[in-house]
Amino acid sequence: MGLALGESGTRSLAMFDFRPAPDCPKPEAYRQLRDAAEALTADEPDGVANMANIAALLWDFLPDLNWAGFYRMVEGELVLGPFMGRPACIRIPLGKGVCGVCAQDAATQLVEDVHSFPGHIACDSVTNSELVVPVVRDGAVIAVIDLDSPLKARFDAEDQAGIEALAAMLAQRI
């Protein structure tokens, strides 16, 4: 998979449809997602551009989300990065909310019901479940990938494994 060059020489992504088939098993769908993310970021050194495209890819690829995107580690706190969804809180201290706990502990947070997560930060009242995965480079958390859903228990162990594998690949691309 590569990026097509149009007649003007500009890159065109319109020819790509990254969505998996509706009956595709989740592990295979996540493999396709990772392949698409790999292709989208392969030739681009700009981390913001890559995070923006990955946020759009996640949004396109995964059903039942109301928010998908990144928070970046900047001078010891999380700062909002590229995302899809409604405007969100901009800065999250380490240890606060689902994202802050994920970043502090360098550990994925799979939350079936955000209303029972102590300190959950409600950026959008429709969110009911959340998956937050750290992006770790050279032993340090450099960002988190945050997925929110209006469904309770939207995410399971297969989603966690799929997003963790994506995060591992992205560690060198953002």
Q: Which residues bind ligand SME (CB under 6 A)?
A: 67, 88-89, 92, 97-100, 120-121, 123, 127, 130, 146, 148
97/162 with CB nearer ligand SME: 97
Nearest-angstrom CA–CA distance, 13 and 172: 22
SS3 content of the chain, % helix, strand, coil (to 5): 35, 25, 40
98/141 with CB nearer ligand SME: 98
Smallest gap from Cβ 139 to ligand SME, in A, equals 23
Smallest gap from Cβ 55 to ligand SME, in A, equals 11
Nearest-angstrom CA–CA distance, 44 and 11: 12
The residue type of 54 is I
Smallest gap from Cβ 20 to ligand SME, in A, equals 24
Backbone angles phi, psi at 74, to 5 degrees: -130, 115
5/153 with CB nearer ligand SME: 153
Smallest gap from Cβ 126 to ligand SME, in A, equals 11
Both tokens of 129, joined, read 């479940």
Which residue is at the shortest CB distance from ligand SME? 97
Q: Give ∠ CA 1-57-108 in degrees, rounded to 5.
A: 115
3/88 with CB nearer ligand SME: 88
